[in-house]
Amino acid sequence: MKRPIPGVKNIMRRDDNATDMHWNRHVGLTYTEPETGEDGIDFGAVASDGREYRFHLETNALKALNAEAFYDDDLIERFHAHQKDIERVAGRMVMLNVRANPIVLKASYFAESPWRRLGGRI
């Protein structure tokens, strides 16, 4: 058994349900249909264990996904054109146990994503 470091509080306990460190909780998410909201798109997801998540995709995030070609189209059409990338980032937020309601998906989450740099070959 490891001895605790003096002066350092044990932050993660095995019996702490608040940490909920299940790295696969994003697998099997079922996404709802997107709706236009204030300054972006709102959509949700339901996990296989019944947990529900709400997301808000900022309009600027669509620009980070190079959605300018769809600039004259409806926001929902731009969402569907990049739905795979959007759902991948939303799943990462669920995996990391982000507890905001709704979880805001910002442009910076898409501009620096490794799958965008590699052309989706991850």
Sign of the C-alpha dihedral computed for residues 31, 69, 57 and 43 taken in this order = negative
Radius of gyration of the chain from Cα atoms? Answer: 18
Q: What is the mean pLDDT of each run of 10 residues along the chain (122 residues)?
A: 56 46 71 90 90 92 72 76 90 88 89 58 50
Contacts of 121 (CB under 8 A, 6+ apart): 115
pLDDT for the residue 12: 46
pTM, full prediction: 0.69
In this structure, the number of other CB atoms found within 10 A of the CB of residue 88 comes to 15
What the chain holds in terms of domains, given with CATH numbers, is 30-114 (3.30.160)
At 45, list the tokens: 């997801």
The confidence score (pLDDT) of residue 87 equals 93
pLDDT of residue 57: 94
